[in-house]
Amino acid sequence: MTSLLNQYSRNSTVRWLFVILISINITACFSEKREDMSLTYIQSLPQHQVNNVWFQQAQSNLKDKMKNKVLTNSASSAKNVILFVGDGMGVSTVSAARILQGQLAGNNGEENLLSFERFPFSGFSKTYNVDQQTPDSAGTMTAMMTGVKTDAGLLSVDEQSNRGDCASAKNHRLTTVLELAELAGKATGIVTTARITHATPAASYAKSVERDWEDDSELSIDAKASGCVDIAQQLLAFKGGIDVALGGGRKHFLPEAQKGSRQDGKNLISQWQTLYPQGQYVDSKQQLLALDSKINGPLLGLFNDSHMDYSAEHSVDKVEEPSLSDMTRIALSRLKKNDEGFFLIVEAGRIDHGHHAGNAYNALHETIELSDAVALTLEQVDLTNTLVVVTADHSHVMTFAGYPKRGNPILGKVVAAGENTPTLADDGLPYTTLSYMNGRGMHSLGHEGDADRVNKLEINVGRKDISKIDTELPGYHQEALIPRHSETHGGEDVGIYAAGPGAQWLTGVNEQNMIFHVIAQSLLSKDESVVF
pLDDT of residue 6: 41
pLDDT tens per residue, range 274-326: 999 999 999 999 999 999 888 889 999 999 999 999 998 876 555 689 999 99
For residues 94-98, give the mean pLDDT.
98
Domains of the chain with CATH codes: 80-397+495-524 (3.40.720.10), 400-487 (no CATH)
pLDDT above 60 for 25: no
- Beta-carbon neighbour count of residue 105 at 10 Å? 9
pLDDT above 80 for 527: no
Active site residue 12: no
- Options 12, 92, 137, 371, the catalytic residue: 137
pLDDT tens per residue, range 186-215: 999 999 999 999 999 999 999 999 999 999
pLDDT of residue 306: 98
Phi-psi region of 362 (alpha: psi -120 to 50; beta: other; left: phi over 0): alpha
Reduce the secondary structure of 15-47 to three states and give it as a string. CCCCCECCCCCHHHHHCCCHHHCEECHHHHCCH
pLDDT above 80 for 12: no
Element (H, E) at 274: helix 268-275
* Beta strands 443-444; 476-477: pairing state: antiparallel
- Flag the least confident range among 277-281, 314-318, 432-436, 526-530: 526-530
pLDDT above 70 for 32: no
pLDDT of residue 27: 39
* Beta strands 80-86; 386-391: pairing state: parallel
Confidence at 50, pLDDT banded by 50, 70, 90: very high
pLDDT above 80 for 408: yes
Binding site, annotated residues for Mg(2+): 87, 198, 200, 347
Show Cβ contacts of residue 300 under 8 Å, excluding neighbours closer than 6 positions: 245, 246, 269, 272, 279, 280, 281, 282
pLDDT above 50 for 10: no
Q: pTM (2 decimals)?
A: 0.90
pLDDT of residue 480: 98
Mark 259-275 as b/e (b = at least 16 C-beta within 10 Å).
ebbbeeebbbbeebeee
For residues 505-509, give the mean pLDDT.
97
Binding site, annotated residues: 87, 198, 200, 347, 352, 356, 393-394, 489
- Flag the least confident range among 54-68, 77-91, 130-144, 445-459: 54-68
Binding site, annotated residues for Zn(2+): 87, 352, 356, 393-394, 489
pLDDT above 70 for 464: yes
Phi-psi region of 403 (alpha: psi -120 to 50; beta: other; left: phi over 0): left
Q: Are 512 and 127 in contact (CB under 8 A)?
A: yes
For residues 479-507, give the mean pLDDT.
97
pLDDT of residue 212: 98
